[in-house]
Amino acid sequence: MPAVDVAGEFETIRRLFAPLAHLEWGRGLADDVAVVPSRQGHDLVLTKDAIVEGVHFLPTDPLDTVARKLMRVNLSDLAAKGAEPFGYLLACHWSPRCGWPERMTFADGLRADQKAFGVALLGGDTVNTPGPASFSMTLLGWIPKGRTVGRGGARPGDLVFVTGAIGDGWLGLEGVQGRLSLEAERIGALSDHYRTPTPRVDFALPIRDLASAAIDVSDGLIADLEHLAEASGARVEIDLETVPLSAAGQAWFDGRVDEQAALEKLVTGGDDYEIAFTASARDEAALRREADRRHLRLTRIGRVTAGQGVVARFGGQPVTFVRPGFTHR
């Protein structure tokens, strides 16, 4: 029997599932959402993410934080499209460790984030599995017709921005696994980010109105910018020295001997759930005003040029990445 070629995550999507996608609404499976036209002047925007024990969360993580992370990674996708969430479908695959108290804890996490983000459960399914626990959510949102911000709108001359800080997701995983030498308060902040990231839902409106292309940073800044560059048919150039770090991330970075290697880890680690986007230079001042109104950090990290792919520089020299970000095999 011939060997089976097990392709990676994105190759699997391209070869097997993209041909099955709706020709218009599925957007070629080249974005984080589907967009379905409605009759009330709005489009229905849908996204779906799954998280698996041992891959996206640790077996020791409290299930309320697991539920909140599931909600928030989906909210991050909608925020990067400029959409307003309203409801979700849920599938729970309970492992043997998920007794009634654990299931109640999971529901408590959902309840807290439903209240925080203004969404409600619409339906779903629950099953038991002898394997690791896993959970899947389909999140639904609205956006004015034709206003969804895709990955494919970046044009040469645009500037590249990112919200918040980069690297806290990867550092948080290092922290919860006991691999960081930092003050307990710093490790706690990073661990909290890993378990319950903050989706930038408050910035969805400026993204909708001013961004030419956008993507949430889930797989890693470099990998996700590569997706944006590919969809746009353009080149994204960034300077690693400009990548924003949190106070805890800066504390870790200040202890590194090899600054380039440290930045490479931060921009490829993933789980940040910030928004990376492009916009016209004429809109930079407006974007900064909108960010300031929301007390949100906004950093210009590069530019869009003619060409393809992502060019990252450190000290003016191009950097070659062995692995641009996280991928599922």
Has 108 been labeled as part of a binding site?
A: no
On the question of pLDDT at 202 being above 80, the answer is yes
Is residue 220 within 8 Å of 328, Cβ to Cβ? no
Q: Of 303, 278, 145, which Cα lies nearest the Cα of 207?
A: 278
Has 218 been labeled as part of a binding site?
A: yes
163 residue type, one letter: T
Residue-level pLDDT at 7: 52
On the question of pLDDT at 56 being above 80, the answer is yes
User: Which phi-psi region, left, alpha or beta, contains residue 191 (left: φ > 0; alpha: ψ -120 to 50)?
Assistant: alpha
- Strand residues in 145-248 grouped as ranges (E): 159-163, 211-216, 235-239
pLDDT band at 13 (very low <50, low <70, confident <90, very high): low
Has 271 been labeled as part of a binding site?
A: yes
Residue-level pLDDT at 282: 98
Has 198 been labeled as part of a binding site?
A: no
Residue-level pLDDT at 322: 85
The tokens for 325 are 């970000």
Has 31 been labeled as part of a binding site?
A: no
Provide the CA 237 distance to its chain's centre, in angstroms.
20
Report, as an integer, the average pLDDT of 249-253. 98
Has 124 been labeled as part of a binding site?
A: yes
DSSP 34-56: EEEE-SSSEEEEEEEEEEEBTTT
The CA radius of gyration of the chain, in Å to the nearest whole number, is 20
Phi first, then psi, for residue 237 (nearest 5°) are -115, 130
180 residue type, one letter: L
Domains of the chain are 31-144 (3.30.1330.10), 159-318 (3.90.650.10)
DSSP structural state of residue 61? S
Name the helix (H) or strand (E) containing 106.
helix 100-117
The pTM for the full model equals: 0.89
Q: What is the pLDDT of residues 303-316, one digit of tens each?
A: 999 999 999 999 99
pLDDT band at 214 (very low <50, low <70, confident <90, very high): very high
Has 219 been labeled as part of a binding site?
A: yes
pLDDT band at 123 (very low <50, low <70, confident <90, very high): confident
Q: Of 301, 304, 314, which Cα lies nearest the Cα of 265?
A: 314
Has 56 been labeled as part of a binding site?
A: yes
d(CA 179, CA 23): 46
Of 24 and 181, more confident: 181
Which 3 state secondary structure label does DSSP give 271? Answer: coil
The tokens for 237 are 């150039």
Q: Of 135, 267, 274, which Cα lies nearest the Cα of 198?
A: 274
pLDDT band at 27 (very low <50, low <70, confident <90, very high): confident
Structure-derived torsion over alpha carbons of residues 144, 141, 191, 300, reported in degrees to the nearest 10:
-10
Has 125 been labeled as part of a binding site?
A: yes
Residue-level pLDDT at 32: 65
Q: Of 242, 254, 250, which Cα lies nearest the Cα of 301?
A: 242
The tokens for 283 are 């809109």
Has 61 been labeled as part of a binding site?
A: no
Q: Of 147, 176, 201, which Cα lies nearest the Cα of 61?
A: 176
Is residue 151 within 8 Å of 218, Cβ to Cβ? no
Has 42 been labeled as part of a binding site?
A: no
Has 47 been labeled as part of a binding site?
A: yes
Of 187 and 4, more confident: 187
User: Judging by DSSP bridges, how do beta strands 84-94 and 120-128 pair with one another?
Assistant: parallel
On the question of pLDDT at 239 being above 80, the answer is yes
Which 3 state secondary structure label does DSSP give 253? Answer: helix
Which 3 state secondary structure label does DSSP give 230? Answer: helix
Q: What is the pLDDT of residues 67-79, one digit of tens each?
A: 999 999 999 999 9
Per the listing, tokens 């797989």 go with: 219
